């Protein structure tokens, strides 16, 4: 079982952040370790308050994990400030190259800011160049690239700008892009590939971005190539959204363990590659 490290904030409602990451990592067959960067008070209706943890405590968590656990991949989420971004970047440089999925969390679905405005440049200059994959939504892609993003063409243009910033690949998530389907656009130095899925009509999408990024990190840690990891994680998160949980009076969470409740456990265990942690991406069947 591969160890996947999530560096992110805590969501008291359990739908996003560290809690969503741990569920997605476990559901995809990994072992989740965590570094908590902030504590939020939130529920399905929105974020009430947030408190960043001290950078020396964040650093201590990072060093404790890396000193003892064989981390196979890293995923970051809420980093909140330039100081936190700098601390995480410094420690990742010290550890050396690992598959690293950067989810540039900036604003909660409720509109609450989760990344300080003055931290965007630090994220762009210090953390972006370390990333195997950056997974912005439309609004985050616009903020990082500095251009409008409305459709797949705009996503590709923004992705190329971010590639120039030093990351190896960009996946612009399609939930906010225009079009009848949910199109995730993967931009690498070699090509642009579009992963399409149904645009599901549901309000229970809390934690979608966290779940997708954590799933991709898990598959990278299990030895999948980038395209294969994105492909199977895209299908996984689509089903997690389809199985979203109607809990609370606002936006309920996705359900990474959908396959335990729908009677198709055996097929999804095979599909997620649990029987062979080194299953190559080319052997993953598309449906």
Q: Which CATH number among 3.40.1190.20, 3.40.50.720, 3.40.80.10, 3.40.50.150 corresponds to the domain 3-283?
A: 3.40.1190.20
Domain ranges of the chain: 3-283
Q: Percentage of the chain with pLDDT > 70?
A: 89
Work out the average pLDDT over 271-281: 51
Task: Look over the chain and give the mean of its residue pLDDT values, rounded to a whole number.
Answer: 89
181-187/192-198 β-pairing: antiparallel
Q: What is the pLDDT of residues 244-257, one digit of tens each?
A: 999 999 999 999 99
Of the listed ranges 12-21, 75-84, 101-110, 248-257, the one predicted with least confidence = 101-110
Which residue out of 210, 211, 222, 273 is catalytically annotated? Answer: 210
Which letter, b or e, does each residue of 121-142 get, where b requires 16 or more Cβ atoms within 10 Å of its Cβ? ebbbebbbebbbbbbbbbebbb
pLDDT higher than 70, residue 283: no
The per-residue pLDDT for 201 is 86
State whether residue 157 is helix, strand or coil: helix
Work out the average pLDDT over 46-50: 91
Burial class (CB in 10 A: 0-12, 13-18, 19+), 275: exposed
Instruction: Check residue 158 and report its DSSP letter.
Output: H
Q: How many CB atoms lie within 10 A of CB 229?
A: 28
Q: For residues 205 and 244, what is the distance between their CA atoms, to the nearest angstrom?
A: 7
The per-residue pLDDT for 263 is 61
Q: For residues 253 and 231, what is the distance between their CA atoms, to the nearest angstrom?
A: 22
- 115 touches 78 (CB < 8 A): yes
Q: What is the pLDDT of residues 179-221, one digit of tens each?
A: 777 889 999 999 999 998 888 888 899 999 999 999 999 999 9
**How would residue 277 be classed by pLDDT, with cut points 50, 70 and 90?**
very low
Length of the chain: 287
Catalytic site residue 132? no
Residue in the block written with tokens 């936190």: 84
- 212 touches 234 (CB < 8 A): yes
The per-residue pLDDT for 266 is 65
Give the tokens for residue 131. 């990333």
- 107 touches 114 (CB < 8 A): yes
Catalytic site residue 210? yes
State whether residue 115 is helix, strand or coil: strand
- 252 touches 244 (CB < 8 A): yes
pLDDT higher than 90, residue 271: no
Burial class (CB in 10 A: 0-12, 13-18, 19+), 10: buried
Distances (CA, A) of 68 to 3, 53, 61, 227: 11, 22, 11, 30
pTM of this prediction exceeds 0.85:
yes
pLDDT higher than 80, residue 222: yes
Catalytic site residue 238? no
Catalytic site residue 209? yes
Catalytic site residue 208? yes
Which residue out of 15, 30, 174, 209 is catalytically annotated? Answer: 209
Which residue out of 34, 40, 122, 205 is catalytically annotated? Answer: 205
């Amino acid at each position: 079982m591969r160890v996947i490290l999530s560096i992110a904030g805590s969501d008291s409602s359990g739908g996003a952040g560290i809690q969503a990451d741990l569920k997605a990592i476990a559901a995809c067959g990994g072992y989740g370790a965590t570094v908590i960067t902030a504590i939020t008070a939130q529920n399905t209706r929105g974020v009430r308050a947030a408190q960043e943890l001290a950078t020396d405590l964040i650093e201590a968590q990072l060093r404790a994990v890396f000193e003892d656990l064989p981390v196979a991949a890293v995923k970051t989420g809420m980093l909140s400030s330039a100081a936190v971004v700098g601390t995480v970047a410094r420690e990742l440089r010290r550890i050396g190259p690992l598959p690293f999925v950067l989810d540039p969390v900036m604003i909660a679905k409720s509109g609450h800011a989760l990344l300080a405005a003055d931290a965007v440049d630090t994220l762009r200059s210090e953390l972006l160049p370390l990333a195997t994959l950056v997974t912005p939504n439309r609004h985050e892609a616009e903020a990082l690239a500095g251009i409008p993003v409305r459709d797949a063409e705009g996503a590709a243009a923004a992705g190329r700008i971010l590639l120039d910033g030093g990351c190896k690949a960009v996946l612009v998530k399609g939930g906010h892009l225009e079009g009848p389907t949910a199109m995730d656009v993967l931009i690498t130095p070699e090509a642009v590939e579009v992963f399409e899925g149904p645009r599901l009509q549901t309000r229970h999408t809390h934690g979608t971005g966290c779940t997708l990024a954590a799933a991709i990190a898990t598959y990278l840690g299990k030895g999948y190539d980038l395209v294969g990891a994105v492909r199977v994680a895209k299908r996984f998160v689509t089903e997690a959204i389809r199985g979203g949980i109607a809990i609370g009076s606002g936006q309920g969470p996705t359900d990474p363990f959908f396959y335990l409740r729908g009677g198709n456990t055996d097929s999804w265990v095979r599909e997620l590659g649990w029987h062979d942690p080194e299953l190559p991406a080319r052997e993953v069947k598309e449906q």
